[in-house]
Amino acid sequence: MTSGRARPAVLVARRVFPDVLAGLQRHFEVEANDTDEVWSPEELRQRLQGKAGALTTGSERISAELLAACPDLRVVANMAVGFNNFDVAACTAQGVLATNTPDVLTETTADFGFALLLATARRLTESEHFLRAGLWNRWSVDMFAGAEVHGSTLGILGMGRIGQGIARRGAHGFGMRVLYHNRSRLSPATEADCRAEWVPKADLLAQADHLVLVLPYSAASHHAIGAAELALMKPTATLVNIARGGIVDDEALAHALRTRQIAAAGLDVFEGEPTVHPELLALSNVVLTPHIASATLPTRRAMAQLAADNLVAFLVEGRALTPINPDVLTRVG
């Protein structure tokens, strides 16, 4: 029981699928954001008053200040695999369970990462804009000639589940040589499955024809790709970011693209999104998408359902399916 209610109260901070919402309503008093507005921190704080749980997205920042102002909150379930919008240490200190949605979006996101790589290498959006503008009036031998993908060198920075999915697609589907850098090496069996070779970061940057970023965001990975790293890359190389904004220094990247220090980039995430650096918007050699790497209906439904299931599991059954800070469970038990 929370705040005198017969059933716990939960907040659903963004619009989700009606059947997922109906499932939550069988267990909880639910306040849902049917308008899908992005609430300000103050409005989020107000709406979380008296709530035992919240289903959140990357739009909602769960900070130490917010947690201190919401003493009834017991669990926050992020509808994402990333959780850089959570102050996890503060959640743990406050005894609030934090959860995410790993696994269910792995293959879909890997598909999109490789699609973005192909679009970037082969200049798809640039050539489409050219055609739509009515500028195509003849064929020429080098018209929108892009970079080779098949048989080239694929570099992956961050080799978790999604990185491994991209590696398999490159190695098995496109005959690519796969290099990766991670804080720790994969097992020999996983390396063999991905046909991937661990190399130091500097070697990865220097050798990759196509560099894909799939590492989680943290203070340590902030601007993991900046001016110095871009200077190590080949002038013919492409860079794809499907990880998180802030991993790339967008201003430095815009400069590298404008000066052709690297050939092209494909970006699904940005610093300060949904705002995009204006210099990136002005460039033709960058493919831009609005953080949609996991955006298929089955995957988004699975993400919403897993986030909802985490609320039910913890608040009704006292357990968690995909906890970020499992130490909180021992306190509850």
* Distance, CA of 215 to CA of 213 (rounded, Å): 6
> Which residues does 210 contact at the CB level (< 8 Å), separation at least 6?
117, 120, 121, 147, 149, 152, 153, 154, 155, 176, 237, 238, 240
Total Cβ atoms within 10 A of residue 149: 21
Q: Which helix (H) or strand (E) holds 267?
A: strand 264-267
Q: Which two tokens stand for residue 29?
A: 């008093």
Q: Dump the DSSP string for 47-78.
A: HTTT-SEEEE-TTS-B-HHHHHT-TT--EEEE
Catalytic-labelled residue, pool 107, 273, 279, 319: 273
DSSP tag of 171: I
* Distance, CA of 38 to CA of 186 (rounded, Å): 39
Q: Kind of pairing, strands 75-78 and 210-213? A: unpaired
- Can you say whether residue 325 is alpha, beta or left, with left for phi > 0 and alpha for psi between -120 and 50 degrees? beta
Catalytic-labelled residue, pool 244, 271, 277, 300: 244
* Distance, CA of 290 to CA of 96 (rounded, Å): 31
129 is an active site residue: no
277 is an active site residue: no
CB 86 within 8 A of CB 101: no
Q: Is 139 helix (H, G, I), strand (E, B) or coil?
A: coil
CB 177 within 8 A of CB 203: no
- CA proximity to 293, closest of 233, 217, 223, 241: 241
255 is an active site residue: no
CB 237 within 8 A of CB 208: yes
Which positions are catalytic? 244, 273, 291
